[in-house]
Chain A
Amino acid sequence: MRRLLAALLILVAVGGASLAQTEVEELERQLESARGAERVRLLNRLARANQVNSPSKSIEHAAAALQLAESLSDREGQARALNNLGIGQYYLAEYGLALEYYQRSLAVADAIGDRDRIADALNNIGIIHFVWGEYEETLRHYSRVLELRRELGDTKGVAAAQNNFGNVYYATGKYEESLEYYSEALRLYQEIDEPRLVASTLNNIGLDYHKLGRLDEALERFESALEIEEQIDDKPGMAQSLNNLGLIYGDLGRVDESLDYLRRSLAVREEIGDRQGAAVCHQNMGQIYAKSEDSRQALDHLNEALEVARKIHVKEIQRDVYLILSETYERMGDAERALDNYRRYKDVADELLDEQTARQLAELQARFELERKDREIEVLRKNQEIQRIVRNVFLGGSVLLILLVLLFYNRYRLKARANREMKKANEALQLAQAEREKATRAELTHVSRLVAMGELATALAHELNQPLTAILSNAQATRRLVAAPDVDKTDVDDALGDIVLGAGRARDIIQRLRELVRRREITREPLEINDVLRDVELIARADAEHHDAKLVMDLAPDLPVVTGDRIHLQQVVLNLAHNSSEAMAGAGTTEREITVRTRAQSDRSVVVEVLDTGPGTAQDVLTHMFDPFFTTKSEGMGMGLTICSSIIDAHGGRLWATRNPDRGLTVHFTVPGGFPHGDPK
């Protein structure tokens, strides 16, 4: 999933408009004779014009603009040039450098009160935080941008801010919200007639639909975007749309079309020199080939992606490609290379994580230094005050006593202050914790949606019975109709028409079922099973308490690392705990307790057990409880445990149930440890 995200992400940096080649030439011609502030303006415009297609050229122009603006004390030109330098570095994926330039631009713009430039800088700083996955920070910046743009009556800016909000919600998996922001941005862009941005926003909307599984709607948006981009010859946009179309067709299992679009996207990106984009295309093509089991072609493209990503130092792509390479070699049965690539994947992923941690630490330290300086100044001021008072007191006598009193008083005040600060820090910590809990809860909603999916699958399967009933009854009625001596042709025709309709409906239901199943791909990553369980403790506890049951977590320390899909494993545990709660509540058990237990096995796999104190169950139920559509619940559909079982199967583990010696039931499942093995299916 994350891989796809990296591959699809679209950002709108403010004003990154690409001008037609003729306009660039015109600007270059004008530049020859331009002097002073006009020259700064032209250099800045040239920097803008080259941003996307040729970042290094853009940086050259921006650097020249900055130098000239500084010598002329042209503050606005300076702010613009700094911002352009930032955007150039952004397109080179030098995010740290970009941030520095944006901050300098912000300082200059702030000094001259240029609100447009302030908004630009804040927006771009927000984008950097976004790229680093620091979404709180991102939203903080975007909110200020939106406010400023509204004050300025800058429709285009408001639209860009809405679009960027959409990006954050997209990245955090809130696709419905994201869709709302994108739609608002789209409306505004259409209103002010900005075809390039209309197209780019259509693309973003398509991505939401893609995530929501509404592939047809996604396809439609990508196609519309592409059409607009071709009309206005927006090469970067075309490349993006083509890439997205390729991925959608890939999802639809239409390999040839998918590869065709990706190839076209690659061609455009190579033409405009977008090397990062080209690497992404190679990565995507590699993945499509890998899926269609053409390992040779897959390896070619993946290695190409890797080479480009290394040249331009984009570690995110390297990380993702190593993982796909590892999976591909695994499928080819080359365990050595698979392991090798997996290790590289881990290394790069760790490096990226280290970089992020280092950055956050540096920020914290900077903040701390600032506060310490403030404190030192404060202490100094206090000391001077005391000295002054002491001097005065000396003049009046009673020196010692008053000095002592003052000293103690001061110490008391400092201590009270320290206490206050401690309290503040504590509050901040609590706030951070609340935020984290909120994030976990959001993720949990996602998990419970997955649980609900099992029920959806069942509902859909049962739904098939409706058209089948109509078809069968119609067919049997028709047989009687035609056997009658005076056959009424219209009656027969009506019945046959209804049979056709019924078959169409059945086909639609099966299609929906298939989509549901297809989206349930299982990813494999090394996991600490206890962490995975602790993450859902909150919701499991809430659910248990809702049924008047107690939840006990009994997690063994030092378990081996297992391989699996976090979300899916959480889904299984939540489902099992939920079943226990319902069973105990349904039977009116008085002492309701659910225990989630982990323990290691000798083969480096881990067993997870969910025990309850409920009514237990009969032996014949034990053997059938994992069968599809088997249920003992009045509201149940009988798919929950079947899906759990298939998830554990796909992990190469086993799911079974036993009766407890005293009372209740235990459901056990194993998750294999160590390096990910091939799909057992």
Chain B
Amino acid sequence: MMTNVLEPVIWIVDDDPAVRRALGRLVESVGLRAEAFATPEEFLSSGPAREVGCLLLDIQLPGMDGFELHDRMVKAGMRVPVIFITAHPDIHSRAKARREDVVAFLKKPFDDQTLFDALELALDRVISGEAGLNPR
């Protein structure tokens, strides 16, 4: 059943250092692996394609926003489950987040259980191979 033997990683992309640290800490507190990035560029250049995992992705980011990052990944054939997080929820961005690979849309601040439920959903997809990383 398991097609992937790599330990999945939770990529956190958020430009707010305090939020980044806190989410990293929370994810690690349940024994998951977390890697945090301040910008989409930083994330992309870290070579995520070599690993499996899911994205905890902030929508409002300076420069390229969360949607653009996701578009770019889809174009590059990198299919990863995404959990969008935002401090500025509105009708429009919620609609825009209705796309393939997006497993949840969380309004900041969110409860730990809400996050873990979303992560479980996302990791299920990674492990069952519904979505995975396809280099190039």
Contact = CB atoms under 8 A, between A and B. Distances in A.
B90 A481 contact: no
Interface string A600-636: 0000000000000000000000000000000111101
30 contacts: A462-B87, A462-B88, A465-B87, A465-B109, A466-B87, A466-B108, A468-B108, A469-B87, A470-B16, A470-B21, A470-B22, A471-B109, A472-B109, A473-B19, A473-B23, A473-B109, A474-B22, A474-B26, A476-B26, A476-B111, A476-B112, A477-B25, A477-B28, A495-B25, A501-B18, A502-B22, A634-B90, A634-B92, A637-B88, A638-B90
A480 interface: yes
A57 interface: no
Contacts of A480: 29-30
Nearest to B91: A632
Given A480-B29, A480-B30, 6 more contacts: A465-B108, A465-B109, A469-B22, A469-B110, A470-B22, A473-B23
A505 interface: yes
**Residue of A462, A491, A637, A638 ringed by the most chain B CB atoms within 10 A:** A462
Contacts of B87: 462-463, 465-466, 469
Interface string A460-496: 0011011111111110110011000000000100010
Interface in B94-108: 107-108
A356 B18 CA distance: 59
Q: Could you say which interface size class chain B belongs to?
A: 20 to 34
Interface residues of A, number: 29
A505 B91 CA distance: 27
B93 interface: yes
A505 B17 CA distance: 13
Interface in B101-136: 107-112, 115
Interface in B14-72: 16, 18-19, 21-23, 25-26, 28-30
Most interface-central of B85, B91, B108, B111 (chain A CB within 10 A): B108
Contacts of A633: 90, 92
7 interchain residue pairs of minimum CB distance = A634-B92, A465-B87, A473-B22, A480-B29, A476-B112, A470-B18, A469-B109
Nearest to B16: A466
Contacts of A495: 22, 25
A482 to B, nearest CB: 10
Given A481-B29, A633-B92, A634-B90, A469 B21 contact: no
A476 B112 CA distance: 7
A469 B92 contact: no
A492 to B, nearest CB: 10
A220 to B, nearest CB: 29
A interface majority secondary structure = helix
Nearest to B106: A469
A502 B18 contact: yes
Contacts, number: 83
Contact of A631 (B22, B25, B90, B107): B90
Contacts of B22: 469-474, 477, 495, 498, 502
A356 B108 CA distance: 58
B76 to A, nearest CB: 26
Secondary structure dominating the interface of B:
helix
Given A472-B111, A476-B112, A636 B21 contact: no
A147 B26 CA distance: 66
Nearest to B15: A466
A477 B90 contact: no
A469 B108 contact: yes
Contacts of A631: 90-91
B107 to A, nearest CB: 8
Contacts of A462: 87-88
Nearest to B88: A462
A476 B21 CA distance: 13
Contacts of A491: 25
B26 A477 contact: yes
A633 B90 CA distance: 8
Contacts of B26: 473-474, 476-477
A196 to B, nearest CB: 48
Of A469, A501, A631, chain B has the most CB atoms within 10 Å of the CB of A469
Contacts of B107: 465
Given A465-B108, A474-B25, A636 B90 contact: yes
B53 to A, nearest CB: 19
B25 A505 contact: no
A171 B91 CA distance: 44
Nearest to A473: B22
Interface in A481-535: 481, 491, 495, 498, 501-502, 505
Contact of A473 (B90, B91, B93, B112): B112
A491 to B, nearest CB: 8
Contacts of A634: 90, 92-93
Contacts of B109: 465, 468-469, 471-473
A133 B93 CA distance: 50
Contacts of B16: 466, 470
Contacts of A470: 16, 18-19, 21-22
Contacts of B23: 469, 473
